[in-house]
Amino acid sequence: MDGIAGRLFLITGGARGIGRATAEAIAAAGGDVALADMDGAAASQTAREITDRFGTRAVGHALDVRDLDATKAVVAAIERGTGPIAGLVPAAGITRTQPAETMDGAAWRDVIDINLSGTFYSCQAAAEVMLPRQRGAIVTLASITSFGGQAGRANYAASKWAVVGLTKTLAIEWGNRGIRVNGVGPNAVDTPMLRGGVPERFVDGVMCDRTPLGRVAQASEIAAVILFLLSDHASYVNGAVIPVDGGLTAGFLTHARGRDYASKILDAQQ
């Protein structure tokens, strides 16, 4: 794929989930990946599996994205040991759900520090090596919670709205020096975490019911859009945050998967 094959991409949070699916999509397109994750052992294991499956280069590094100096050190180690970084996907992120009135400081700080500050630090560290080369692409992880609020997620919504502001600002600052910065806003992704943590009645009765496509996403469906934004096929896309949400944020009054018309006439015809 243009702009992917033979190039190296840094993915934070790449050990699993959307980060891992993105690494697999890049590898399938002939690109190499460096996975930096809090769980360094899992990152290395994922990297081995990717190399075995796709035959491309993949390396794992331990990193806490809250630490700017450590992030710069990992970027330097990758540049020295693996090659020049052509793009970044800062996919490390967490959620800590608590009611706003009793949300503790640790839950607030952890989410803001990882989702927002960690994303910024990763972008800054990667840009430091990409800007002198006048070429690069960054795709941030926003969310449908970047476009609205959600009960129990004051910290998460604040972090994800902020990621949009960060994405657009970096797109303006770095676009004229060859680095495109875009984001994706995924709907809920069908993972063991979703199935284990979210009540089935909420997944079916709210998430799927309000999504015109009638289902949650697969991680590979988010990765496909990230891959496009990293690639030269998106050469004129900069500062965009693309909802990847099955149409969830297309409207406000959608339920019954878009089949409930606000119309007495249509009601009578059914």
Ligand X SMILES: NC(=O)c1ccc[n+]([C@@H]2O[C@H](COP(=O)([O-])OP(=O)(O)OC[C@H]3O[C@@H](n4cnc5c(N)ncnc54)[C@H](O)[C@@H]3O)[C@@H](O)[C@H]2O)c1
Residues annotated as catalytic are: 156
| 89 contacts 83 by C-beta, under 8 angstroms | no
List the one residue from 8, 9, 10, 16 that touches ligand X (CB under 6 A). Answer: 16
Mapped onto helix, strand or coil, the DSSP state of residue 175 is helix
Token pair of 230 as six digits: 């990293």
List the one residue from 4, 34, 38, 230 that touches ligand X (CB under 6 A). Answer: 38
- Residue closer to ligand X, measured from CB, 112 or 131: 112
- Amino acid residing at 15: A
Q: Give yes or no for residue 19 binding ligand X (CB under 6 A).
A: yes
List the one residue from 4, 25, 138, 188 that touches ligand X (CB under 6 A). Answer: 188
Q: Give yes or no for residue 11 binding ligand X (CB under 6 A).
A: no
Sheet with 58-62, edge to edge strand ranges: 58-62, 32-37, 8-12, 85-90, 136-141, 179-186, 241-244
Q: Give yes or no for residue 49 binding ligand X (CB under 6 A).
A: no
Shortest Cβ distance from residue 4 to ligand X (Å)? 20
Q: Give yes or no for residue 77 binding ligand X (CB under 6 A).
A: no
Question: 243: which strand partners?
Answer: 185
Please, is 265 exposed, middle or buried when counting C-beta atoms within 10 Å of its C-beta (0-12, 13-18, 19+)? exposed
The site map against ligand X for 136-155 (x = CB under 6 A) is -----x-x------------
Token pair of 77 as six digits: 């180690």
Pairing of β 241-244 and β 136-141: unpaired
- Residue closer to ligand X, measured from CB, 95 or 231: 95
Shortest Cβ distance from residue 230 to ligand X (Å)? 15
CA distance 269 to 82: 64
The site map against ligand X for 78-97 (x = CB under 6 A) is -------------xxxx---
Phi first, then psi, for residue 151 (nearest 5°) are -55, 135
Q: Which residue ranges make up the site for ligand X (CB under 6 A)? A: 12-13, 15-19, 37-39, 63-66, 91-94, 114-115, 118, 141, 143, 186, 188-189, 191, 194
